[in-house]
A and B are shown apart, each in its own frame.
Chain A
Amino acid sequence: MDAFSQLMMGFAAALTPGHIAMCFLGVLLGQVVGVLPGIGPAAAIALLLPITFGLDPTSALILFAGIYYGSQYGGTLTSVLISVPGESSTVMTSIDGYQMALQGRAGAALGIAAIGSFIAGTLGTIGLMLVAPPLAKMALAFGPPEYFSLVVLGLVALAAVGSSVLKGLVAGVAGLALGTMGIDPQVGIPRYDFGQVWLLDGIEFIVLTVALFGLGEVLSGCNDAAARPVAKVKDVLPTREDWQRSRWPIARGSVIGFVIGVLPAAGATIASFVAYIVEKKLAKDPSRFGKGAIEGVAGPEASNNGAASGALVPMLSLGVPGSGTTAVILGALIMFGVRPGPEMFTTNASLVWALIASMLIGNLILLVMNLPLAGVFARLLSVPYSWLYPPIIALCIAGVYSQSNSIEDCWLLIGFGAVGWLMRRYDWPMAPMVLGLVLSPLFESALRQSLTLSLGDPTIFVARPLSAGLLACAALALVVPLAALAWQRRPRRTA
């Protein structure tokens, strides 16, 4: 079995002391970041980028992936303990999880979430291993028109995840437009430099990410900087009854999560919604839901972790991220000189397999760390935000400045920080904007090359079957979430 031998090579690479340390550091940081308000995994990865320039891409990718799935679990802690979901994907967890915490069963809720996440994460990683390579092989046949359609699909898909598809599209196109700043790649004409020499290089992806997800987040969060009461955590190991109730929800949640995570339009949030609804439908006594049913924690938690692994499938094999954080990881990979996409499984095989192996290890670390230490992480929650956000701002300034030692980037930080704050405040998604900026050069060169190939005939994008299929998927990505939303609303009305 080819995948198996490659996985063993991956383990050999991931089990070096340095990479284990990175993996551990990643999940630890991810968990802390997931627990602390005001700084999400996307901003954390962006802020760490300047620090990781000295690392090899494999270490950096292991670190970032650790932050990514570690933060999923950190978000669970906040939803259960204080009913403040750190990430939208843990909203469903907070419904029954917080009720359990009020009944003094916070420990059981966190324990089952940790176990469910571990199982789903492991199954999801195995799924990733099986699905991504064939997908990548298929994608090797891609030419410029296919890449163009792929970028369209990626942007539309990410835009469709948010609260409003329209707002997501606006943000995505704004990102694409920002990406055209600087020297034109084919003719060499400066564009949108406004007479400023420092704008000739365009806007750095780190600057935009740190500004939007770091400073913007702080500005929108600093108004409610008060400390919150935190529930006590004890008896983390689930009882036999808990386990019997949660077994099947975890299994179903894992599968639902992975499948939905792979679809570029969906992601962890929708996966957890679907898992919750499925469990409620299948339950013998649906009235327990919303009053502390452990199934309502187990299913969605397994599901959002399964989706986190699933979302890596399109990112690694096609270069199309399924969420904001994977969009930032994608940008980071590009900065490290690794081009995510179909070639990754051939040109960077060792990196990809080391990552997959490290994800299996990281899930184990998370489980081992959380069963005994959930209470310690819970205590982090009592650190008031007012002590946290000023240092976060200082870190943003240092991180952005160090990126290219330029004071001008700090001006951009302030400007886009303000934009990020307003976007956040009025519920505009920021991830499509970052993705637009990252993918803009690929988009433009693919479009120009395609039109050169076809002598200016735009039907090239629909005449080639693969490209047409991708565009059809993009259209589906617009329609499916709307349909899902309608489906979601239906049972609530009858309930």
Chain B
Amino acid sequence: MGVVWVLGARAMPMWERETPGPGWLPFAFGAVLIALSLAAGVQALLSPSPAPEAPGAFRKPLLVLGATLAAVLGLEPIGFVASVFLLLLALFVLAERKKLLPSLLAAAGVSAALHLIFVTWLAVPLPAGPFGS
């Protein structure tokens, strides 16, 4: 339950920076937030500690988060379709250890469908990248 503290602490300095007038309410929010976080932290410390986590419970979510981050990084240089295609392929093959062919098909299908929905139908200018039309 250390995260209670991490979350609380991360929120704290952000909200304490006060500007007069418009800053009053954010300051009040910040103060209340700190007080409540402290209370939640105390509550977490007082309650019996949960069963220890299985090791590696964080690995896969972090992997998925990292892959998503990489895909967002890739949006502008290589375009939405290519970036999402690679993201899906990586998740299917590397994270889920699926067979290559169905993964390729699924990744291609989903990225094509999203392109159709958003770019063709809704006319949203998703980043096209060097391969874009």
User: A residues near B, CB below 8 A?
Assistant: 50-51, 54, 164, 166-167, 169-170, 173-174, 176-177, 180, 184, 186-187, 189, 191-192, 215, 218-220, 222-223, 225, 386-387, 389-391, 393-395, 397-398, 401-402, 405, 407, 410-411, 413-414, 417-419, 421-422, 425-426, 428, 444, 447-448
From residue B1, how far is it (CB to closest CB) to chain A in Å?
Answer: 7
Which of B17, B40, B61 has the most chain A CB atoms closer than 10 A to its own CB? B61
14 A-B contacts, Cβ less than 8 Å apart?
A164-B40, A177-B29, A191-B22, A219-B61, A220-B61, A386-B98, A390-B96, A394-B114, A395-B114, A398-B84, A398-B126, A414-B65, A425-B3, A448-B25
Which of B65, B107, B125 has the most chain A CB atoms closer than 10 A to its own CB? B65
A180: contacting residue among B25, B98, B111, B124, CB under 8 A: B25
B68: contacting residue among A176, A184, A417, A426, CB under 8 A: A417
From residue A449, how far is it (CB to closest CB) to chain B in Å?
Answer: 13
Write out the residue numbers on chain A whose beta carbons fall within 8 Å of the beta carbon of B19: 189, 191
Q: Lowest 8 CB-CB distances: which A-B pairs, in order?
A: A184-B22, A402-B124, A390-B91, A177-B29, A386-B96, A219-B61, A410-B72, A180-B26
Write out the residue numbers on chain A whose beta carbons fall within 8 Å of the beta carbon of B57: 223
Per-position binary interface string of chain B over residues 28-56, scored 1 when its CB falls under 8 Å from any chain A CB and 0 otherwise: 01101100110110010000000000000
A50 contacts B3, CB within 8 Å? no
Helix, strand, loop or mixed for chain B's interface? helix
Helix, strand, loop or mixed for chain A's interface? helix
B68 contacts A397, CB within 8 Å? yes
A390 contacts B87, CB within 8 Å? yes
B72 contacts A411, CB within 8 Å? yes
From residue B21, how far is it (CB to closest CB) to chain A in Å?
Answer: 6
From residue A476, how far is it (CB to closest CB) to chain B in Å?
Answer: 20
Given contact pairs A393-B87, A414-B65, a sample of 5 additional A-B residue pairs in the complex whose CB atoms are under 8 Å apart: A170-B40, A219-B65, A394-B84, A394-B87, A401-B75
Which residues of chain B from 1 to 30 have a CB within 8 Å of any chain A CB? 1, 3-4, 7-8, 11, 14-15, 17, 19, 21-23, 25-26, 29-30
A223 contacts B61, CB within 8 Å? yes
Cβ of B71 < 8 Å from any Cβ of A? yes
Write out the residue numbers on chain A whose beta carbons fall within 8 Å of the beta carbon of B88: 390-391, 394
Given contacts A191-B23, A402-B126, contact A222 B71 (CB under 8 A): no
Q: How far is the CA of A236 from the CA of B69 in the complex (A)?
A: 46
Cβ of B128 < 8 Å from any Cβ of A? no
Q: How far is the CA of A405 from the CA of B128 in the complex (A)?
A: 12
Q: Could you count the A-B residue pairs with CB atoms below 8 Å apart for me: how many are there?
A: 145
Write out the residue numbers on chain B whose beta carbons fall within 8 Å of the beta carbon of A407: 72, 75-76, 127
How many chain B residues touch A (CB < 8 A): the figure is 56
From residue B96, how far is it (CB to closest CB) to chain A in Å?
Answer: 4
A215 contacts B68, CB within 8 Å? yes
B72 contacts A394, CB within 8 Å? no
Cβ of B78 < 8 Å from any Cβ of A? no
Cβ of B100 < 8 Å from any Cβ of A? no
From residue B47, how far is it (CB to closest CB) to chain A in Å?
Answer: 10
From residue A160, how far is it (CB to closest CB) to chain B in Å?
Answer: 14
From residue A394, how far is it (CB to closest CB) to chain B in Å?
Answer: 5
From residue A43, how far is it (CB to closest CB) to chain B in Å?
Answer: 15
Write out the residue numbers on chain A whose beta carbons fall within 8 Å of the beta carbon of B7: 419, 422, 428
Write out the residue numbers on chain B whose beta carbons fall within 8 Å of the beta carbon of A219: 61, 64-65
B117: contacting residue among A51, A192, A222, A448, CB under 8 A: A51
Given contacts A191-B26, A215-B68, contact A387 B75 (CB under 8 A): no
Write out the residue numbers on chain A whose beta carbons fall within 8 Å of the beta carbon of B126: 398, 401-402
From residue A276, how far is it (CB to closest CB) to chain B in Å?
Answer: 27
Residue of A nearest to B56 (CB): A223
Write out the residue numbers on chain A whose beta carbons fall within 8 Å of the beta carbon of B33: 170, 173-174, 177
Q: How far is the CA of A393 from the CA of B32 in the complex (A)?
A: 34
A398: contacting residue among B37, B68, B80, CB under 8 A: B80
From residue A167, how far is it (CB to closest CB) to chain B in Å?
Answer: 6
Which residues of chain B from 68 to 121 have a CB within 8 Å of any chain A CB? 68-69, 71-72, 75-76, 80, 84, 87-88, 91-92, 95-96, 98, 106-107, 110-111, 114, 117-118
